[in-house]
Structure 1
Amino acid sequence: MAYTEEAEEMRKIPAELCVKCKGSKYLCGLSYCPIIERFRSFINVVQGINVNDKSVNGSSPPSVVVGERGYPKVKVMYNVPPNVYGDEARKYEDPLGWWGKATLSDIIGYRSGLLSAVKDQRIEDPWSLYEKEISVSSVSQKPVRYDVLLSSTPDAKLKFDGVIMPRGPSAPLQNIKVNDNASLSRTLEKLIFDDLKASEAVVQAYSQGEDIYKLISAMSMGLLGVKKNRKLVPTRWAITSVDSIIGTFLLGKVKESTRTIDSVSVYYSSYLGNYFHIILYPGNYRSSWIEIWYPLSLWSSETTVVELSENFWGKYEYMDGGYMAARLAVMEKLQKEDIQAGIVIIREITSEYYAPVGNWHIRETVRKAMENKISTFDNVSEAFSFVQDRLKDKKVNLFATRSVSDLVKQKKIEDFFK
């Protein structure tokens, strides 16, 4: 069962099941009906609109999304929970607060409770948004009140994306007014006025403790970079870009370390139907990403295994946003402990994850995993056998994957002298 026709197709659940169920028998196996929940949230959003002038008031978490369709003319979406004010609005976009507490249903409920007011904007013109303080409000540390005037009533669609968080109903924006002063960190406020390359600004802010989610918003809204070159960046691109910039910066620090681990360690965490095992093994840096998509999970009707490898020099086979999010989390661990290691990240995606909520949950779950070492071994074969026994589907053979096979067969120089 899913919130959109597209997601329903991905899960391959027959439509006749919904017809038989009618939202009351839960024949799809879920404990509630997502279709009913979606429209309940939609009704709440619509009821928050003043029918006389199509106005909406509320505090944004803050939440602003820049779309990519039509680039270089894009849609900027200002997300507001109608008639929700102050700190209560935080829960509508709060990855750090959600993790381990909010269910998939909770998160989708929060997101479907946001109204997206949509404005067309050329990427070369972030300055007109500066003038109205809209850009700055998007990186506020506190919720910011918006007064929104719509051109028409919203549609009834809930938009899903595999990288960014879902959004609720949307409607064209006629006018928007920011009624609160944005509360910015000193670091970010300084960098907004600096004439510094965006990548350098991201690294500097991250190194000074800036929230990565604020950096994504700042990158997306064109708040960072050499001033004459600043542009809006589609949020999907900004997420992967920030993960990549920070991850590559940390990788440079990790490769400077002369210390390597002396045993094979396995780390683990899970959330929202995603299960992560991270294996660190002795040696210079190299990394492998293995995703196992089970039947009725997103994008797959049968068990599918996908791999990606990255070498010592940071060259990888293709760009993957999920891998970049996970890689950053592992790099944080290695850099903090000043060690170098080889890495294998194994992600299992089960049917529990029936709707995408963005890459944030990958980043945060791997961060949690790196705090949870569950076992150590003398060699990688033992570690992979251990993880193999813990897989949700024992028919999946890790040793048949290219990444694992290469590692198990790999000989070290000392092996030739035995």
Structure 2
Amino acid sequence: MERVRAVKSSMFRIRGREVFGATPPSAVVGEAGWPRVRVYIGEPPEVWGEEARAYDDPRLLWGRGLEEIIKLRSYMAFGYRTSVGPWELGELPLLAVSERPVDVEMRLARDPAPGVRFDLREKPMGPRAPLERVRIDGNPAVPRPLDKLMSDDVKAGEAVVELYRRGVDLYIIQRAFSLGLLGAGHRRRLVPTRWGITAVDVAVGDYLAGRVRDMPEVDGALYGYGEYLDNRYLVAVVPGPLRFFYLERWVYGGRVAEIEVVEDPRGRRSTVDGGFEAARVAVLETLAALGRRGTVSIVRWIGEGYYVSVGNWQIRETLRRIRLKPLDEEYGRYVALVGRDPLALIKQSRRLDEFM
């Protein structure tokens, strides 16, 4: 809490109710009161064009320090409206699924109080206030496949997979799903962002798993290591059926808390966990690119330096950058860093077989 307060003391404070800038794009659907929830549109004041993208795009945020990410996010103002579905929001949903930043003028109903909100799945949110009016100065660039599916009566899960197959950015798909732009017309509703992120990861991951299951096995044991924001990731893949063992190790003051998720070869999970689903998508993308399948174990070690969460995107983006390679002498050093051996976890086949 002391570290959070220290960061908050240096945060930007938005003055006045008029906010001019470009949305990166950025949108968050709240959870309280569902199905009638708040929809937040965010923009950094006086930041325009491509420069605004760095305030929200996970690929541009990745690599920055924790305090820098918090400061960037605290600089963004969020205006919100309350709604049940996209039909009540006018053009706001189109802003959120644009492929490029869009200039927006917002007038807030009151001065936004300084502050930042943290969530395990989503990026931190800066000052917020009700949206009195909004003027869009530009045309949102909605991806063509999404523009078509927004008019079609297709199940949301199927639409998610189709968009991913067509190369639409995963984060645009997540926002489209949360804003109720996908699915059977009569059933479309707003989906809280923290639910939508995991739902899209599950749909895309299951699609990728369906492809990878039929691929040849890896020739031998492979591993990859990555770290970011005092999170360390060690991945091991061995020949065998496609199945996952995921272990999170939270380390604080010499104490360790562990969370585990097991997935059997049929894709049945022992529990639903957003961190696991984000990691699973990234590893499956790597296996699909290699054209190989195997039994996967992932250890995520979380240290005291990660004192607030910036969202599941950092899991996904860090693991996307990991390259799998044959075992070498470095593997033992990485095992020491994360405190558990993924290969040993895989060998605990009795636990996996019990779950099957």
TM range (shorter): over 0.9
Is the CA contact (8 Å cut-off) linking 2:164 and 2:204 kept in structure 1? yes
Counterparts in 2 of 1:173 and 1:211: CA distance versus 1, 3 Å = same
What is the aligned counterpart of 1:328 among 274, 278, 281? 281
Alignment-mate amino acid for residue 119 of structure 1: R
Aligned equivalents of 1:160, 1:116: Cα separation in 2: 14
Counterparts in 2 of 1:191 and 1:37: CA distance versus 1, 3 Å = same
Alignment-mate amino acid for residue 163 of structure 1: R
* Structure 1: gaps of 5 or more residues: 1-7, 9-17, 19-32, 412-418
Aligned equivalents of 1:383, 1:40: Cα separation in 2: 40
Compute the displacement of 1:399 (Å). 8.7
Question: Is the partner of 1:58 in helix, strand or coil?
Answer: strand
Aligned equivalents of 2:346, 2:240: Cα separation in 1: 15
Q: Note the 1:240-319 alignment, pairs <5 A.
A: 240-257=198-215, 259-295=216-252, 302-319=255-272
Alignment-mate amino acid for residue 118 of structure 2: F
Is the CA contact (8 Å cut-off) linking 2:262 and 2:352 kept in structure 1? no
Aligned equivalents of 2:110, 2:285: Cα separation in 1: 46
Across the aligned residues of Structure 1 and Structure 2, the Cα RMSD in angstroms comes to 2.4
Amino-acid identity (%):
36
The question of 1:142 aligning with 2:93 is answered no
Superposition TM-score, scaled by structure 2 size: 0.92
Question: Is the partner of 2:42 in helix, strand or coil?
Answer: strand
Between structure 1 and structure 2, the one with the greater Rg is 1
What is the aligned counterpart of 1:221 among 176, 179, 183? 179
Aligned equivalents of 1:142, 1:409: Cα separation in 2: 47
Is the CA contact (8 Å cut-off) linking 1:280 and 1:343 kept in structure 2? yes
Partner of 2:10: 40
Partner of 2:130: 172
Aligned equivalents of 1:410, 1:185: Cα separation in 2: 41
Question: Is the partner of 1:40 in helix, strand or coil?
Answer: coil
Describe the superposition over 1:86-123 as per-residue Cα deviations: whole angstroms up to 9, x where unpaired.
222111101112223x111111111000111122212x
Aligned equivalents of 1:384, 1:408: Cα separation in 2: 24
Describe the superposition over 1:236-294 as per-residue Cα deviations: whole angstroms up to 9, x where unpaired.
0110011100000111111122x111311111111111111100011111110011111
The question of 1:238 aligning with 2:185 is answered no
Aligned equivalents of 1:410, 1:229: Cα separation in 2: 38
Counterparts in 2 of 1:308 and 1:168: CA distance versus 1, 3 Å = same
Is the CA contact (8 Å cut-off) linking 2:296 and 2:346 kept in structure 1? no
Counterparts in 2 of 1:157 and 1:243: CA distance versus 1, 3 Å = same
Describe the superposition over 1:37-85 as per-residue Cα deviations: whole angstroms up to 9, x where unpaired.
4343332x22xx3xxxx32221111101000111112111111212222
Compute the displacement of 1:332 (Å). 1.0
Counterparts in 2 of 1:409 and 1:187: CA distance versus 1, 3 Å = closer
Is the CA contact (8 Å cut-off) linking 1:86 and 1:143 kept in structure 2? yes
Partner of 1:87: 50
Counterparts in 2 of 1:80 and 1:359: CA distance versus 1, 3 Å = same
Aligned equivalents of 1:283, 1:90: Cα separation in 2: 41
The question of 1:127 aligning with 2:87 is answered yes
Compute the displacement of 1:390 (Å). 3.5
Partner of 2:336: 389
More displaced 10-residue stretch of structure 1: 103-112 or 173-182: 173-182
Superposition TM-score, scaled by structure 1 size: 0.79
The question of 1:98 aligning with 2:40 is answered no
The question of 1:206 aligning with 2:134 is answered no
* Structure 2: gaps of 5 or more residues: none
Is the CA contact (8 Å cut-off) linking 2:297 and 2:343 kept in structure 1? no
Aligned equivalents of 1:397, 1:107: Cα separation in 2: 29
Is the CA contact (8 Å cut-off) linking 1:384 and 1:398 kept in structure 2? no
Partner of 1:416: none
Q: May I ask how many residue pairs the two structures share in their alignment?
A: 353
The question of 1:351 aligning with 2:304 is answered yes
Counterparts in 2 of 1:238 and 1:409: CA distance versus 1, 3 Å = closer
Is the CA contact (8 Å cut-off) linking 1:269 and 1:372 kept in structure 2? no
Alignment-mate amino acid for residue 285 of structure 2: E
Partner of 1:406: 348
Describe the superposition over 1:276-334 as per-residue Cα deviations: whole angstroms up to 9, x where unpaired.
110001111111001111106xxxx8311221100000001111001000000111122
What is the aligned counterpart of 1:68 among 31, 49, 63? 31
Is the CA contact (8 Å cut-off) linking 1:291 and 1:307 kept in structure 2? yes
Aligned equivalents of 2:170, 2:352: Cα separation in 1: 37
The question of 1:112 aligning with 2:74 is answered yes
Is the CA contact (8 Å cut-off) linking 2:42 and 2:78 kept in structure 1? yes
Alignment-mate amino acid for residue 389 of structure 1: A
